[in-house]
Structure 1
Amino acid sequence: MLQVHEAFIAHALAYFQRDERIVGLACAGSFITKTMDEFSDIDFVVAVEPDRYEQVMAERFGMVEHLGTLLSAFTGDHVGEPRVLICLYDNPLLHVDVKFVSLDDIAHRVENFSILWERSGRISAKLKEEPAKFPLPDLQWIEERFWVWIHYGATKIGRGEIFETIEFISFLRQSVIGPLILQKEGKQPKGVRKIEYDAPKYLDRLKATVASYDKGSCYSAIKMLIELYKELREVHKFESSRYNTQAEKAAVAYLDDVAKKYR
């Protein structure tokens, strides 16, 4: 961990310790794995007394101003986590996420964060109530949608909506292929986060899913996504897995027919 991060964490720790409404402070993300570098952000988890939680939430924008030279702060609604304030600080320029969690809810977590400080072991006691559980891809949910998505991508190529097609390809890589690869490699399936380092043997084929502004390039990228998906679903399948082979054949045939029209 760099001195910049250490200094910021130390200052935040001193600030939250002075507030009797705060039960403890923890760090998540790369702090846990000791892989923080100069490009890392800081992910704080602030445990709050349950009966003071609403009060703290009402004051949280003011609270994060005390942590440093705050340039900007907004809630994490866009990532489905309104409890988080996403902050940018200056001197030095640093991205910091601060999640305020009621002590009653802190056991519901996706990873075992590192506790920096707590009052009377109360966070540790709560965490024993249930294990951390990172949400894994639902293969059946994906299979029921994948071939409809492929047909959608084909129609965008056919109409010449290349920007939309490129965004669609990115969606499949981020939401389906990346998580399935990372899960296979025993990593948390966080989209394509650090996939270059965690799954290097897939790098060449993943590069082939990055399309340029060209119909042929988009077609080739989608075909590689299909190849990867079919391989990965075999890895992750379970006894009750059901494949929609009719939809698969129809969608792939349609994609190929669209491609023939501009070749």
Structure 2
Amino acid sequence: MKFPSTLPTPHRTLLETIITRFSADPRIAGIAASGSYTTNTMDIYSDLDLVIACAASDYASVMHERFALIEQLDGGVAAFSGEHVGEPRLVIALFAPKWADEPIHVDFKFVALEDAAQRVDPCQVLWEREGELSQIYASSTPYYPQPEPQWIEERFWTWVHYGATKIARGEYFEAVEFLSFLRTTVLSPLALRQSQQTPSGVRKLETRLPEFALELGKTVVKPEKLSLIDALNRVITLYLRLRENEVVIKREAAQQVSMDYVARLLN
């Protein structure tokens, strides 16, 4: 097997062990990798993002035993399911094998073979039993969910009002977290989409859109009233600029009410 040139040696050793152990289970039909593995952009901080595919008839039993399968690997120190990110098929695991200088994070996504077609990133098959996983990937296309500008416009001005009430009430930590939500859900995805890049929140924004990242950085502030007011106004300014590049029905009444509220209450 030819591994990406950027795959760190500890990751490679762990990956080889995973392939050897999992391929010995007759219920498992294939193993694939996604993320930075497929783009050959890994470094020592990278996760291993793995897809573990099995026949539909074996899926229930594999899911039932998925933690036992992971526990047979050397160096595991933690493993838990991914309901908190909306993906119960996912097991997030941390390994600290004796031969590795640093811990390694591995995401195991257990899927039935026919469900492997639904994916957000390209996947590279690492091992398979009958060639079925390769066939599924060859006959389907990854699709990353795109931000819907009209969906955002329908909500944004109510969100602005909500953020303003938190600042006015003195719930500064709540306001800090809410600004983070707007960066991740609204501003960064729109900016990335408009530059024809995958709209994956704020992930690697510093290198993907460095100039926009500098502007967005000015909305990251301490839990203090004046700083939060300035940050909220900057969020509004950035959104209005991004909205000009989209075809939307502008909710001008909601915009005016919210902006008047911000000006009257906070400025």
Q: TM-score, normalised by structure 1?
A: 0.95
Contact 2:175/2:223 (8 A) holds in 1: no
Alignment of 1:111-126 (within 5 A): 111-126=121-136
- Deviation, 1:74, is 0.5
- Give the CA deviation at 1:179: 1.1
In structure 2, give the amino acid aligned to 1:26: A
Q: Aligned-pair RMSD on alpha carbons?
A: 1.1
Match of 1:228 among 221, 238, 254: 238
Deviations 1:184-234 (A, max 9, x none): 222211110000010001122111110212111111111111111111122
Secondary structure class of the residue paired with 1:12: helix
Residues 107 and 128 in structure 1, CA contact (< 8 A), matched pair in contact too = no
Aligned to 1:130: 140
**2: CA distance, partners of 1:15 / 1:181:** 42
Equivalence for 2:40: 34
Moved more, 111-120 or 190-199: 111-120
Task: Return 5+ residue gaps in structure 1 as ranges.
Answer: none
CA contact (8 A) 2:31 2:53 kept: yes
Residue 213 (structure 2) pairs with residue 203 (structure 1):
yes
Q: CA deviation at 1:116?
A: 0.7
Aligned mates of 1:210, 1:103 — CA distance in 2: 42
Unaligned runs of 5+ in 2: 1-6
Partner of 1:157: 167
- Residue 48 in structure 1 maps to residue 54 in structure 2: yes
> What does 1:12-91 align with in structure 2 at a 5 Å threshold?
12-91=18-97
User: Equivalent residue of 1:67, what SS?
Assistant: coil
State the secondary structure of the residue aligned to 1:134: coil
Quote the residue 1:251 is aligned against. Answer: 258
Aligned length: 257
TM-aligned CA deviation for residue 32 of structure 1: 1.1
User: 3-state SS of the aligned residue for 1:252?
Assistant: helix
1:175 corresponds, among 165, 174, 185, to 185
Following TM superposition, where does structure 1 have runs of at least 4 consecutive aligned residues deviating by more than 4 angstroms?
A: none
Other-structure match for 1:105? 115
Aligned-residue sequence identity (percent) comes to: 42
TM-aligned CA deviation for residue 67 of structure 1: 2.4
* Corresponding position of 2:201: 191
Q: Shift of residue 5 of structure 1?
A: 0.8
How far the C-alpha of 1:87 sits from its partner, in A, is: 0.4
Paired residue type of 2:256: K
The answer to whether structure 1 residue 141 and structure 2 residue 151 are counterparts is yes
Q: Check conservation: 2:91, 2:109, Cα contact below 8 A.
A: yes
Q: CA deviation at 1:46?
A: 0.5
SS for the counterpart of 1:106 is: helix
CA offsets, 1:157-204, max 9 Å, x none? 111111111111111011111111222222211110000010001122
